[in-house]
């Protein structure tokens, strides 16, 4: 049985309607590097059928998406496509994470915690605030024309170097949250013959970083952190960082190495489940590829079409944080 979902759209003039039954397809998706989740839907339209209800799809309108657990997404319709030969309007709506990337500012942070700065920025830009992960780490940083998403994630990245934790931004309804990433208490189990349809694995060393060179402000290399075995096997793939850009440059270098080693991409197609979203974990059992264990969801695409609900996931062995390095330390 397909789970309950509902889309209600509202035009800028206040016209509103439940358009769930008019939609040929619905796609709800997110990715660990994207600030905003998206909702794509395609309601049927007709210029001749006067009995067909009109779907509010004007740009600048809103779209609310509900599931069995309540409101899943509160978004704005910002893209619309109409084909002269087709009978649908294709709409893409974004949650408020988009506005974090579309607003930038010149900003100075002086011995303030990421959570304090995030709350202040949200207040300034009219963004509602939910749970903000408490780091207790004071940061000093100058941002010159940097968007809000990069400001917030840079501060949390710098804090993560000291706390050893990882953080991510998400929106719960209209409220921004920054949460500490941790293993889900109730991971969905994916198994062939039950809810797992296809599992594909790809291993790659093409995007590896196996060495990090640390430089001072005078362009002098002062230290190198590296995975010597990976260098010997795959060749030198080195990233350079400036020591004064980080509270603890050595810890940051080690983090770069840990997060950019041999890449194993696992993609699965499964029967749809609203709990399978980016940031959560799954327990995967797949005997053909030999994949067993608990994995992090780093991207998800949920699709409702022709009465079928399926979910496509990209999985990772590690919890991936969208680490940002915007801004700079003030010059003394």
Q: Taking residues 292-319, report their average pLDDT.
A: 87
Tens digit of each residue's pLDDT (9 = 90 or more) over 47-104: 667 777 788 889 999 999 998 888 899 999 999 998 877 788 899 999 999 999 999 9
Tens digit of each residue's pLDDT (9 = 90 or more) over 211-260: 999 999 899 999 999 999 999 999 999 999 999 888 789 988 998 898 88
Distances (CA, A) of 43 to 81, 84, 91, 273: 11, 15, 8, 23
Tens digit of each residue's pLDDT (9 = 90 or more) over 127-149: 999 999 999 999 888 998 899 99
Q: Do the Cβ atoms of 282 and 315 come closer than 8 Å?
A: yes
Q: Give helix then strand counts, H and E, for the chain.
A: 5, 21
**pLDDT for the residue numbered 112:** 92
pTM of the model: 0.79
Tens digit of each residue's pLDDT (9 = 90 or more) over 154-165: 899 889 888 888
Q: Do the Cβ atoms of 254 and 226 come closer than 8 Å?
A: no
- Express the helix, strand and coil content of the chain in percent, nearest 5 each: 15, 45, 35
User: Using N-to-C axis directions, what is the helix angle for 114-124 and 148-163, rounded to 10°?
Assistant: 170
User: CB count, 10 Å around CB of 257?
Assistant: 18
């Amino acid at each position: 049985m397909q789970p309950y979902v509902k889309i209600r759209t509202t035009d800028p003039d206040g016209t509103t309607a439940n358009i769930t039954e008019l939609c040929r397809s619905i796609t709800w998706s997110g990715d660990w590097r994207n600030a905003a989740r998206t909702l794509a839907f395609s309601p049927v339209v007709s210029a001749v059928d006067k009995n067909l209800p009109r779907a509010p799809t004007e740009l600048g309108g809103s779209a609310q998406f509900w599931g069995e657990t309540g409101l899943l997404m509160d978004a704005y319709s910002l893209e619309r496509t109409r084909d002269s030969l087709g009978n649908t309007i294709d709409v893409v709506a974004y949650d408020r994470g988009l506005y974090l990337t579309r607003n930038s500012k010149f900003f100075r942070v002086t011995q303030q915690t990421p959570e304090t700065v995030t709350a202040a920025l949200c207040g300034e830009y009219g963004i509602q605030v939910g749970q903000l992960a408490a780091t207790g780490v004071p940061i000093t940083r100058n941002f010159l024309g940097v968007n809000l998403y990069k400001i917030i994630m840079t501060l949390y990245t710098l804090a993560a170097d000291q706390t050893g934790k990882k953080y991510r931004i998400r929106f719960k309804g209209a409220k921004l949250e920054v949460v500490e990433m941790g293993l889900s208490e109730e991971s969905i189990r994916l198994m062939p013959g039950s809810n797992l349809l296809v599992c594909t694995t790809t291993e790659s060393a093409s995007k590896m970083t196996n060495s990090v060179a640390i430089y001072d402000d005078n362009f002098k290399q002062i230290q190198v952190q590296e995975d010597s075995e990976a260098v010997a096997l795959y060749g030198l793939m080195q990233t350079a960082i400036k020591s004064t850009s980080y509270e603890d440059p050595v810890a940051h270098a080690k983090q770069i190495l840990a997060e950019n080693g041999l890449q194993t991409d696992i993609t699965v197609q499964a029967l749809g489940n609203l709990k399978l979203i980016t940031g959560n974990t799954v327990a995967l059992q797949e005997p053909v590829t030999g994949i067993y264990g608990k994995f992090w969801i780093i991207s998800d695409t949920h699709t409702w079409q022709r009465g079928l609900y399926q979910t496509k996931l990209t999985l990772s062995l590690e919890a991936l944080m969208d680490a940002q390095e915007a801004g700079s330390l003030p010059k003394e």
